[in-house]
Amino acid sequence: MAMSAGQLLVETKDLTKHYGELVAVDKLNLRVERGTIFGLLGPNGAGKTTTILMLLGLTEPTAGKALINGLDPTRNPLQVKSIVGYLPDNVGFYQDMTGEANLRYTCELNGLSPGEAEKRIMSALERVGLKNDAHRKVSEYSRGMRQRLGIADLLVKDPPLIIMDEPTLGIDPKGVRELLQLIRELVEEDNRTILLASHLLHQVQEVCDKVGIFVKGKMIASGTIDSLGSQLGSKEKVRLEVCAEPLDEALINLCRDTDGVLGVKQEGRMLIIRSKKDIRSSLAAKIVAGGYNLLHLRQSEFSLDDIYQRYFQEKEGEYEEDGASEDKSARA
């Protein structure tokens, strides 16, 4: 199926899923362009896996719509399955079969000729670094090796879109680095598209082009990390790092009482200051006039951790306010 560059491979329109009174996914609007890695970031229970199940056509939405390359997964399941490869958090293989035999079985299920199957299997095993382990039983594989075999299983099917659910969960640091590098290569070298669901901020920041922050079934922010930082920065304007000696309570109060400062937090020997405006000149002069030795003052960018925590806290605050309002209504 022809797909042009920049085309949306994944799109949802007010996608909603209820389980009884529980709203697992609430009016989700998601857009994933071809040739990118989109990170669906949120805590466990946020609704990420439920979203994936609807995208795969494995559960029907209560309301709204999901589209994969313009196709509805519930109405066109076979066509969607030919486009999408799925890597769950714990890939299932036949444990008493070798890695190579498992891939051969996948090729048979997908109707590949023996010649084409062998070609794809050898290429995939070499690509994921399992060529020398191809004849070992999967029961002997580590979790990281099974995840790489899972990617090899996707490669023999050759899907343009890959959906991954917590792909690095339970893998050692070296295995995580290797897997993240492989994920990036799938996009940069193969021009595939990846939707990656995870609760691990650092890993999402390392490989994803765009991020959607997902909390209690709602997408509360979406975009590049830079754009999300800018959106957050439009509220807070400036984030400063300050290091001065001696670091004492009087210095913290001096900074806190400076015009425009929204908040001061100590991180080790550094003060992190949020302000409404650029106060570097006035703050530096005030610190020096106070008899302190100013060692470092820098305007810093927002990390994904900053972005996630602020958006998450804001949304949690809304839920708490909503809950308080409901409590008041109930008592009225």
Tokens of 317: 């605050």
- For residue 237, what pLDDT band results from cuts at 50, 70 and 90? low
Long-range Cβ contacts of 72-79 (<8 Å, 24+ apart):
79/1
**Which pLDDT score is estimated for 51?**
95
Considering the domain architecture, whether residues 124 and 193 belong to the same structural domain is answered as yes
Split at pLDDT 50, 70, 90, the class of 119 is very high
Domain end, chosen from 198, 223, 248, is at: 223
Length reported for the chain: 332
User: Does 171 score more than 50 pLDDT?
Assistant: yes
**Are both 261 and 179 inside the same structural domain?**
no
Kindly state whether residue 173 falls inside one of the protein's structural domains: yes
In a domain, 331, yes or no: no
Q: Which residues touch 247 (CB under 8 Å, ≥6 apart)?
A: 266, 269, 271
User: Residue 145 domain-assigned?
Assistant: yes
What is the pLDDT at residue 199? 86
pLDDT at 332 over 70: no
* pLDDT given for residue 262 in this prediction: 87
**Overall average pLDDT of the 23-45 stretch:** 93
Asked whether residue 119 falls in the same domain as residue 252, the answer is no
Please count the structural domains in the chain. Answer: 2
Looking at residue 311, its pLDDT comes to 67
Query: If pLDDT is split at 50, 70 and 90, which confidence band does 325 have?
Result: very low
Q: Are residues 185 and 248 in the same domain?
A: no
Q: What is the pLDDT of residue 5?
A: 43
Whether residue 21 is found in the same domain as residue 39: yes
**Alpha carbon distance 280, 277 (integer Å):** 9
Regarding whether 210 and 241 lie in a shared domain, the answer is no
| Domain containing residue 258: CATH number | 3.30.70.100
R_g of the chain computed on alpha carbons? 24
At 32, phi and psi to the nearest 5?
-125, 120
Q: Is residue 324 part of a domain?
A: no
> Counting beta carbons within 10 angstroms of the beta carbon of residue 286, is it exposed (0 to 12), middle (13 to 18) or buried (19 or more)?
middle
- Together in a domain, 138 and 155: yes
Q: Answer yes or no: is 315 within a domain.
A: no
Average pLDDT, the chain: 86
Please check whether residues 243 and 146 belong to one and the same domain. Answer: no
275 and 227 in contact (C-beta within 8 Å)?
Answer: no
Co-location of 98 and 197 in the same domain: yes
pLDDT bucket at 292, cuts 50 / 70 / 90: very high
Q: Are 195 and 50 within one domain? A: yes
Residue 325 lies in a domain: no
pLDDT number for residue 315: 57
41 and 176 in a common domain: yes
Domain stop point among 223, 250, 269: 223
Residue 61 near residue 73 (C-beta atoms within 8 A): no
Asked if the model's pLDDT at residue 2 lies above 50, the reply is no
Question: At 130, is the pLDDT very low, low, confident or very high (cuts 50, 70, 90)?
Answer: very high
Question: What confidence score (pLDDT) does residue 314 get?
Answer: 59
What's the pLDDT tens digit per position in 57-92? 999 999 999 999 999 999 999 999 999 999 988 888
Instruction: Give residue 277's domain range.
Output: 229-304
Judge if 243 and 124 occupy the same domain: no
| Res. 20 pLDDT band, cuts 50 70 90 | very high
Residue 132 sits in a domain of what CATH number? 3.40.50.300
pLDDT of residue 274: 84
Question: How far, in Å, CA of 323 to CA of 7, rounded?
Answer: 40
Q: Is the pLDDT of residue 114 over 80?
A: yes
Q: Which of 223, 252, 268 is the last residue of a domain?
A: 223
Greater confidence (225 vs 73) lies with: 73
In a domain? residue 49:
yes
The identity of residue 314, as a single letter, is E
Residue 179 resides in a domain: yes
Phi-psi region of 158 (alpha: psi -120 to 50; beta: other; left: phi over 0): left
